[in-house]
Structure formats: structure tokens, C-alpha cells
Structure 1
Amino acid sequence: MPWHLKERFANYYQAWEPIQYGIWAVYAGAKKSFREGRYRDIFSIPSLQDSGFYLWFTTLNEHMVNFESMSVLPILVPAVSGVVLELGPGVGNQLCRFDKTKVTRVVGVEPNAHFAPDVARNVQAHGLEGVYELLTCGIEDSDVLEKHGIGAESVDSILSVQVLCSVADPRAVVRELYRLLKPGGRLVFWEHHRSSDWATVVAQYFWNPLWRSLIGGCNLTRDMKAIIAGAGPWENLDSLEGDEKEKPWGLMPRVWGELVKPKQT
């Protein structure tokens, strides 16, 4: 079986460019904190990571928007309806895809407060005032969510677009998402995951420490299918799709789906 070494190396090396941007973004964020007299932030690793990731994301966002527009997202995101919980909206790239005739309320959960002004602008730009509410907290902050009406079996749809890669405990998070979903509710997601090709897995683990540190805690090595399957029973777990066959040496193969929580569990 041919190894396609040239193609593999080209794919594996692609991680270096976003990592370079990550290094620059952390440095630029530290310089800005110094100029503005926020000296404490310079010595706070979480603060540097948050500001650096925001700068990294907004610098590269045009490329992300173009990439996402050619993915399944324009078809997948409009599937959400009713009361929607959106995980990690970032600047709000998916807001343009919500079907306003189907969603009654959307609560975005974004722990990085740097993104809040961008989300607010996109809420206004896409006519979602009074529908979309942003909470600057994590999905783990159940007390905050409950104060805003998000509790057990209260959500019709959950949207997760490249978020589960960066949460601290993904298995605990998906169990919490399952708890929040109403019976018959749907988890709509588009995530990247660990490759099934062993050489690509080696490359993912090689890059992962630096990648995770610089790019919002993102992990390249998570078995996302197993993580999501472990949340609880799903009606249609065999319906998941992915692009790994099309991109066998890609460092970020995607998996996506619209999983339904059974009405009787």
C-alpha cells in the first residue's frame, strides 16, 4: 500500500502556520497589556491565552468563514429550532445561519469575554435582538445557566461547532448537555477529532502540546465520536457523518451529525 509521503508531510506541516500566528498573538496581547498598564495580565497565563486566542481568531476569521461556507454547516446549522443553546459562538459566525422562523430563543455560552462585543454586533447585524442572549461563562457553570432559564430538560437544540475540542472535561460536558436537552431534543454538532490513520495520529500528538497551549485549549487528539456517544442513549447514533475518507491525512478530520435524545430514556 503506497504511503504518499509527500502528501502526508504537506498535510502534517500545515499546523505550523496557525501555531506561528498563535505565538505572535500571545506576544501582541502581552505588549498591549503592557502599553495599557494591565501588568497583572502579563503574568497571568489564562489572561494571555484568552487575549491571544481572541487576536488569533479574529486575524484568521476570514479564512475560517470561507472554509465553513464550503462545509456542511450552511445545511446543518438551520436544523436547530425552539430554545437553542449555542456553545462557544466566538465572534458569532453561525448567527447568519439560524432560521429565524424556527428559533424562539438562543442562549450563547462563551467563556472568553473578549468575543462579547463581536457577538453583539452580529446579533444586531442578523436581526436577532431579543432572541439571542450571550452569557460569558462556561457550560460547566450550571448555576449561571439556571439563573437564565437553562436547566434540566429545558433546551430543544444544542449547537456545537468546534467547541468540544477545547473544554477541560469533554465527557462531563456532553453528559451535562444531555441533561439539558429535552426528550426528543437534538444535539447538532460539527467537530474535529482524532484520526483513524496511525501515522496521522502520531502527527496530531506531536503538534498537540503547542497547539493546545496557543489556540484556545484546542486538542487535536480527542476521540469525539466516543465522547459524544458516551453522553447517554441516542436514537440515531449510526447517522454520524465525516470527511476523513476524503482527507485521510488531515490533522483535523471532521465529524458531524444531528443526534436525537430519546423521548423515553
Structure 2
Amino acid sequence: MHLYRDKIFPMMMKKNIGKKSILELRKKILSDAKGEILEIGIGEGTNLTLYPEHVDQITAVDNYIRKIDSSNINVNLIFASADFLPFDDNSFDTVVSTFVLCSVENLRKVLAEIYRVLKPGGQFVFLEHGKAKDKLTSMIQNMFNPFYNIFAYGCNINRQYKYEMVQCGFQLLKFECEKADIYPRVLTGYVYTGKVNKPEKMEKFDE
């Protein structure tokens, strides 16, 4: 089982979400990154070569520290969970998440933490796979999610991000859904890209 968890599954995922079409989507959302940047769930650093040229330093958190691919970006890497970020309120201009929100245990709590550490007017840019728009596919996703969750170590295939983001106080700036070349397509091939921001006028959020 450890062979699958430590070697086979990570290799499958890296190949799946490292495809050229997915890298283009990563680059698309990262083009908006600016100011003080926090990346949640940096993994091996797949995004580091895709940031705009003006980005030379970021802060990153992950709950599983591993070797990060080399790049020209200086990374302040911190061992931490996304649902308890070790930063003061209003610390960052940009927060980045790519294929992370699908696997967090408490999505609302993580989004609330992202909201908290963003400066007023700050932005959260993301690339995540989630629930399909058509009813038949979403029904299939709901049916298989408990099994996929075990197979993929906590990954959920039926999350609805827009509703949760709005509930946490974010303003939607961009929010797009498209089919992507992620296997198995019927379960994980619906990806969401976008940008939301924390309003300049602070709003209270109650969990």
C-alpha cells in the first residue's frame, strides 16, 4: 500500500496534471499574480517556472515537505496546513491554489483562511477540478466520490467552488469551467479557473 501511496499515485498525478494543456491553464491564472504572493500546496513546485517574469519571490505552504524543483524564484517554504495558515491578517496581495482545494478536509475553513490572510483588495487565483455542470455527469461524480476519495487520498471530484467562495465573502472577478484532458475525464475532467478578490471594504465572516 505504501508503494502505491508514495510512488505510484504521485507519479500518476504528476503525469495527469502536468500535461501541456494543464500547464497552459496554470500559466493563465498565474499571469495575474503580483505583490506579496502565497502559494498553498506547492508540492514539487510545478508552478514555479510558470509565474510572470516580475515574480522573484513567493511564500509557500504545504503539509508534506518534499524536494522542490529548481527555479529562479526564491521560495520561503513553510510546513503548515491550509486550514490554519501561520500568517497575520491582511498579509498577502495574491494567494494561489492549483489542484489543492479538491483535497482539503474542510473547504469552507480553508477559504476563510485565504480570505483572512489576503489584504483588502487582494486576489485569490485558482485552478481546480470540480463538479460538472450537466446533471448526468454530476450524478455520476456524486456516486463515485466516496470511492475516488479513498483511491486518491482525500481528493473530491464533486466540489462546488463558486458557492463556497461567495459564502466566504469573496467577490467573483473571473470564474470559468471547461473540460480538460485529465483522466478519468468523466470524473475529473471538469476544471475551474478564476480570480476572486477580498473587497476593499472588509466584511465579517462567521464560520
**TM-score normalised over the length of structure 1:** 0.67
Corresponding residue SS for 2:110: helix
Choose the corresponding residue for 2:39, options 86, 94, 118.
Answer: 86
Corresponding residue SS for 1:107: strand
**Contact in 2 for aligned 1:53/1:215 (Cα 8 Å):** no
Code of the aligned partner of 2:30: V
**Contact in 2 for aligned 1:153/1:183 (Cα 8 Å):** yes
1:9-158 map, 5 Å: 26-28=1-3, 52=5, 55-69=8-22, 71-103=24-56, 105-113=57-65, 116-117=66-67, 119=68, 122=69, 125-128=70-73, 131-142=74-85, 145=86, 150-158=87-95
1:206-233 Cα deviation digits (max 9, x unpaired) = 3212211131311011111111222214
1:177-256 map, 5 Å: 177-234=114-171, 237=172, 239-243=174-178, 250-252=186-188, 253-256=190-193
- C-alpha distance in 2, partners of 1:197/1:211? 20
Q: 1:99 to 1:238 in 2, by over 3 A?
A: closer
Code of the aligned partner of 1:251: L
Corresponding residue SS for 1:58: helix
Please identify which structure carries the higher strand content. 2
Gaps of 5+ in 2: 203-207
1:95-139 Cα deviation digits (max 9, x unpaired) = 111224145x412111123xx22x1xx1xx2122xx212222212
Q: Which runs of 4+ in 1 moved over 3 A?
A: 67-71
1:259 alignment counterpart: 196
**TM-score normalised over the length of structure 2:** 0.85
Gaps of 5+ in 1: 1-25, 30-51
Code of the aligned partner of 2:61: V
1:70 to partner: Cα distance? 5.6
1:192 to partner: Cα distance? 1.4
1:93 to partner: Cα distance? 0.8
Corresponding residue SS for 2:186: coil
Q: Does 1:175 align with 2:112?
A: yes
**Contact in 2 for aligned 1:244/1:250 (Cα 8 Å):** no
* Larger CA Rg, structure 1 vs 2: 1
Code of the aligned partner of 1:194: K
Corresponding residue SS for 2:169: coil
Aligned residues: 199
Corresponding residue SS for 1:65: coil
- C-alpha distance in 2, partners of 1:98/1:261? 22
**Contact in 2 for aligned 1:53/1:214 (Cα 8 Å):** no
Please identify which structure carries the higher helix content. 1
1:241 to partner: Cα distance? 1.2
RMSD: 2.5
